[in-house]
Amino acid sequence: MYKDQIYFMGAIKVLRNRHKINFHEFHCGKFSIDDYFKLRDKNQINIGERTKYPHFLQDTASYINCLNYLADFNEIK
């Protein structure tokens, strides 16, 4: 399905840009990785007090380590 391919391509973009992303900002809205960078550069991402994050962001360092492992395993730089 084309939708699966789009999600896969987005996941690859996230892995390639994992060192440039603030994941708390990234998870506070519903936007693409390209839109995230545009909004971030314009300082238009606002993290509210009521923002709820996925459980895996409670330990951001561990999450980044998992992303690094996935990227290394799949030879994504």
pLDDT digits (tens, 9 = 90+) for 29-43: 888 999 999 999 999
How far is Cα 28 from Cα 52, in angstroms, rounded to an integer? 8
Q: Please, what sign has the CA dihedral across residues 13, 18, 22, 27?
A: positive
How far is Cα 42 from Cα 60, in angstroms, rounded to an integer? 24
pLDDT digits (tens, 9 = 90+) for 42-70: 999 988 888 888 999 999 999 999 999 99
